[in-house]
Amino acid sequence: MRMYDVIASKRDGKELTTEEIYEFIEGYVKGDIPDYQVSALLMAIYFKGMSEREILDLTTAMAQSGDQVDLSPIEGIKVDKHSTGGVGDKTTLIVAPIVAANGVKVAKMSGRGLGHTGGTVDKLESIPGFRTDLNQEEFFDVVKRTGISVIGQSGNLTPADKKLYALRDVTATVESIPLIASSIMSKKLAAGSDCILLDVKTGSGAFMKTVERSIELAEEMVKLGENAGRKTCALITDMDVPLGNNIGNSLEVIEAVNTLKGQGPADLTHEILYLAANMMELAGLGDEESCLAKAQAVIDDGSALKCLIEMVKAQGGDASVIEDTDNFEKAKFSHEVKAPVAGYIATMNTEGCGIASVLLGAGRETLNSPIDMAAGIIIARKTGDYVEAGETIATLYANDESLFEKAEKKYLESIAFSDEKVIRNPLLYAKVSKDGTKRMA
Ligand code: URA
């Protein structure tokens, strides 16, 4: 295979053969094919797209490019979840214990935050002592004992995706459905669970800015999962407004704990019940309606929170911060953001709100920059709410007071006010399964 010919084929809109796709992935991971040729191929894929068969081959080749986890030593059905990323998205911390409290195992590898989006691994590491770097034996042991374990992605899982994602990030080729679908699904297939629930975010804080594009991506990913023999379903959920009220690592753990106690914000509570119910439905616990009741029941009887506490202890964390969230170390400084005018909050540029939180130290600009676990934002007023001029719309938290000025500016730039009453977008737009796409709003 000549890489030049592969690039030219795709440039001219032709279908790549299975052999060409496998050789390209293998050669790139080995370092035999240079970044400049792969960049050209990615751009050709971006413009010309890929057939179903090509996407399946690309996903399989990427999944097979490194370690593939065999979860069979853990008894029972294992269910995984993936969110395409957002701001204030602490759902894994809530739905994984709910599902585990219902007897379904969750052996999950999660990522760190990058750019304006947060990551579950960083949030969990805000719990003092919590280890996300368990080896496979420890990981399996925690799942067997507590029903749930969440760790960072292992070193050699889908090395092809690591290299390709980094290259896409700097060559303006992230927003391509074949490339996003193969990137996400290769990791999910290699991680080994029997069932996969995809939470595809849509709106100003998401990769996919429209519901139609989100459905297209979800349909592609569901096909890939089902083709690989995994029960797969996707929910299209709103990311046009930050989810819940808290943004930032320990602040999000606190909100997750409150939600597991039945005291979470309405939007977050609604969404996590549906995510958890759909994970349970995939695992064969009944239809969506009965699983919604099962999800609510383990919040009401406290068993979901108990599952989270057990996982935290099993992974070396100080569970006293979960038992009483006042024990979390707080940021030294806080600053209230006031509404500059009276009116309805018309829109929140969610990416902008995420960037404001990064400016306070809650996120990282590059993969290795340090983060401040206590920094972040607690939102007091959201899209659709009426506010008086001078009313507090959010409180910023940081350990360095000098960070407030830039973060406040960014936050205020992200909020638009209107004299007209504003109706907030729905939280759930659609469910995509092997049986088709069902609109929920
Ligand atoms: N998340 C991923 O893992 N990959 C993408 O391409 C986009 C979002």
The per-residue pLDDT for range 195-241, each reduced to its tens digit, is 999 999 999 888 888 999 999 999 999 999 999 999 999 999 999 99
Number of C-alpha atoms within 13 angstroms, CB side, residue 251?
29
Note whether residue 58 is domain-resident: no
Pairing of strands 195-202, 333-338: unpaired
Distance CA 175, CA 308 (A): 35
Tens digits of residue pLDDT in 246-259: 999 999 999 999 99
Catalytic residue among 90, 168, 230, 410: 168
Task: Name which residue sits closest to atom 3 of ligand 1, judged by CA.
Answer: 184
* pLDDT, position 265: 98
- What does 347-405 look like in DSSP terms, one character per residue? EE-HHHHHHHHHHTTSS-SSTT----TT-EEEES--TT-EE-TT-EEEEEEES-GGGHH
Whether residues 153 and 275 share a domain: the answer is yes
CATH code of the domain in which 44 resides: 1.20.970.10
Band (342; pLDDT cuts 50, 70, 90) = very high
Is the C-beta atom of 180 inside 6 A of ligand 1? Answer: yes
Whether residues 413 and 432 share a domain: the answer is no
In the chain, % helix, strand, coil (3-state, to 5) comes to: 45, 20, 35
In the numeric block, the tokens 């990551």 are attached to 119
Note whether residue 71 is domain-resident: no
Whether residues 257 and 310 share a domain: the answer is yes
> What residues have CB less than 8 Å from 96, skipping those under 6 apart?
81, 106, 108, 148, 150, 308
Q: Which of 140, 148, 159 is nearest to 96 (CA)?
A: 148
Note whether residue 86 is domain-resident: yes
Whether residues 86 and 217 share a domain: the answer is yes
Active site residue 161: yes
Whether residues 154 and 101 share a domain: the answer is yes
Distance CA 428, CA 226 (A): 22
Is 251 in contact with 259 (CB distance < 8 Å)?
A: no
Active site residue 187: yes
* pLDDT, position 116: 79
Band (367; pLDDT cuts 50, 70, 90) = low
CA of 84 to the centre of ligand 1 (A): 7
* pLDDT, position 166: 86
| The model's pTM | 0.95
Whether residues 230 and 157 share a domain: the answer is yes
Is 348 in contact with 339 (CB distance < 8 Å)?
A: no
CATH code of the domain in which 149 resides: 3.40.1030.10
Whether residues 348 and 319 share a domain: the answer is no
Tens digits of residue pLDDT in 81-128: 999 988 999 999 999 999 999 999 999 999 887 677 788 999 999 999
Q: Which of 165, 186, 221 to mutate to test the pocket of ligand 1 (most atoms within 8 A of CB)?
A: 165
Q: Measured at the alpha carbon of residue 274, what is the angle toward residues 286 and 351, in degrees to the nearest 5?
A: 155
Residue 431 has pLDDT above 70, yes or no: yes
Domain count, the chain: 3
Residue 36 has pLDDT above 70, yes or no: yes
Note whether residue 32 is domain-resident: yes
Note whether residue 66 is domain-resident: no
Least confident of 27-41, 230-244, 366-380, 414-428: 366-380
Secondary structure of residue 1 in the 3-state scheme: coil
Is the C-beta atom of 393 inside 6 A of ligand 1? Answer: no
Amino acid at the residue 125? E
Amino acid at the residue 117? T
Band (44; pLDDT cuts 50, 70, 90) = very high
* pLDDT, position 86: 87
Tens digits of residue pLDDT in 381-418: 999 999 999 999 999 999 999 999 999 999 999 999 99
* pLDDT, position 175: 86
- Its domain, for residue 37, covers 3-49
Whether residues 312 and 345 share a domain: the answer is no
Note whether residue 69 is domain-resident: no
Rounded to the nearest integer, the mean pLDDT of the chain is 95
Distance CA 102, CA 343 (A): 44
Question: 67 forms bridges with which residues in the sheet?
Answer: 157
Distance CA 172, CA 237 (A): 25
Tens digits of residue pLDDT in 135-183: 999 999 999 999 999 999 877 999 999 999 889 988 989 889 999 999 9
Q: Give the chain's end-to-end CA distance (angstroms, integer).
A: 48
Active site residue 176: no
